[in-house]
Amino acid sequence: MIDIHCHILPGIDDGASSIEDSLEMARVASEEGIKTIIATPHHRNNQFTNKKEDILQHVEDLNKVLKQKNMPINILPGQEVRIFGEVLEDYEKGEILTLNHTKYLFIEFPSSSVPRYAERLLYDIQTQGIIPIIVHPERNKELQEKPDLMYKLVQNGALTQVTGASVCGYFGKKVKQFSEQLIEANLTHFIASDAHNTTTRTFKMSQALDEIEANFGSDYVYLFTENAELLIEDKNVYKEMPQPIRKKKKFLGIF
């Protein structure tokens, strides 16, 4: 299993605070069957700044320790970029890091809103051959209230990633319901942990995939697991289920 969103690098954001925490996260991930993790520390979120060069060094250092400890986890480089107007300028300066050096880039919105310039910026990002992945949209208040906006962003080419713990209900009933609606409406393409620790914000990947299989069928589990593999190989991911969606809801008011 591959986890494409995780805050496992020690001491650089609100994830693992020490190498011991990183090792404990790796141990828990391995127990869930996760073999590969993309480390995605926060960048430009008004609290943390983690530039590409620094992240690459931290990933190299952590992989060395994991190898010394004989832990069967491989860490790949990534970054969780809070949306800001100069993303492309900073990308050109070498400060922005795509996921495992692929064409895929994480973009995070503020928790309560979607900036007015988001639609245009996501378009501009794509004109540079980069595919933006909006992280945890199910936890964004404005998207919850205006799901038609989510639909528009995806129709315009953006991808999205829902958090496993959201699917399992750990962020509340409303977030769980919206997560399920996004899955059912073909508006999300990845399930990832967004794990920060092993207590309050842990992986829940296996539980989420089990729940998805129970509610939507094994084809959905295949879609999400296959997309993670395609992503790290820099290949095109599946954007829709191969068969018509079961029990499609009209919650968006656009079908």
The most distant pair of C-alpha atoms in the chain lies apart, rounded to whole Å, by 54
Q: How many helices (H) and strands (E) are present in the chain, helices listed first?
A: 10, 9
Does 141 have pLDDT greater than 50? Answer: yes
CB 236 within 8 A of CB 131: no
Average pLDDT over residues 119-148: 97
Does 57 have pLDDT greater than 50? Answer: yes
CATH superfamily name and code, 2-232: Metal-dependent hydrolases (3.20.20.140)
Model confidence over 59-87: pLDDT tens digits?
999 999 999 999 999 999 999 999 999 99
- Domain residue spans of the chain: 2-232
What lies within 8 Å, CB to CB, of 54 at 6+ separation is 12
Query: Confidence class of residue 239 from pLDDT cuts 50, 70 and 90?
Result: confident
Helix (H, G, I), strand (E, B) or coil at 161: strand
Q: Helix 118-127 crosses helix 147-155 at what angle (to 10 degrees)?
A: 20
Taking the C-alpha atoms of residue 15 and residue 11, their distance in angstroms, rounded to an integer, is: 7
Does 244 have pLDDT greater than 70? Answer: no
